[in-house]
Amino acid sequence: MTHSSTVARVAQGDAPAHLVLSVSRLCKQYGAFVAVADISFAVQRHEILGIVGPNGAGKTTTINMILGVLAPTSGSITIEGYDVRAERQRALAHANFAAVYAPLPGNLTVEQNLRIYGLLYGVAHLKRRIEALLETFDLGRFRRVKCGTLSSGEQTRVQLAKAFLNEPSLLLLDEPTASLDPSAAHDVRERIQQYAATNDVGVLWTSHNMREVEETCHRALFLSHGRILLEGDPKQLPREHGQQSLDDLFIAVAREPVSGEPR
């Protein structure tokens, strides 16, 4: 199914079953300033969709609207068929996120944070789930350490463990490897790719690391001034637009939007 036909069905309120997330004609305005301008896209199961663009492009605003933190000026968002505005609790029960700008409470230990968020999400067999995540993210030795005393990389691992607590079908990751060393970042990318490949889930990923986007994401959206300017396979997009690399394409988009009508 093409992107345009998918958007058409989403706009009609008939989200196909293979879509985890559907965003239709989403807008966010602050007075005269337009932060997000009439964007539509979808995330399929087993897909990692990258959203890239310069600072101020609208990436974080879009994620905050998907999470229900910000109310859209117009447009609709559905997660697993549930409208975020009308059925927020049901929609967000299927989602989770990690972001470098949203640290967990620093006065609580790693284990306490995971327990509290696990209770909020209603995670079954919570103790067993926490133990599994502590092992998966190599956090066992920090279980009784307050999060505020951890290094930035360690805090990122705790955030990722929290994001996996409820085994979400929509995983939102905003710069998930920004604070990690190359080895840890590689492990995180592999873990996310495996999660998307082996479960009926979708991942929305933002990053300023274009090599990471090329290696990790199946599809990428380029945002600039709140609009989607380009969309496609991150391995093919540079050649399609006369650039040598995704970094070169990013710079071109940031400096001067590529010709063509924004979507």
pLDDT in tens, 33-60: 999 999 999 999 999 999 999 888 999 9
The answer to whether position 243 is within a domain reads yes
The answer to whether position 261 is within a domain reads yes
For 4, list phi and psi in degrees, rounded to 5. Answer: -65, -40
pLDDT of residue 257: 52
Helix (H, G, I), strand (E, B) or coil at 159: helix
Q: Do the beta carbons of residue 216 and residue 227 sit within 8 Å?
A: no
The answer to whether position 157 is within a domain reads no
The answer to whether position 200 is within a domain reads no
pLDDT of residue 256: 65
The answer to whether position 221 is within a domain reads yes
The answer to whether position 217 is within a domain reads yes
Q: What is the pLDDT of residues 114-149, one digit of tens each?
A: 999 999 999 999 999 999 999 999 999 999 999 999
The answer to whether position 42 is within a domain reads yes
Q: Backbone dihedral region of 158: left (phi > 0), alpha (psi from -120 to 50 degrees) or beta? A: alpha
Instruction: Tally helices (H) and strands (E) across the chain.
Output: 10, 10
Would the pLDDT of 14 be above 70?
no
Nearest to 53 by CA among 65, 66, 63: 63
Q: What is the CATH number of the domain that holds 2?
A: 3.40.50.300
% of the chain residues with pLDDT over 70: 91
pLDDT of residue 15: 54
Q: What is this structure's pTM?
A: 0.85
The answer to whether position 225 is within a domain reads yes
pLDDT of residue 5: 39
Structural domain containing residue 43: 1-94+213-263
Structural domains of the chain, count: 1
The single-letter code of the amino acid at 132 is A
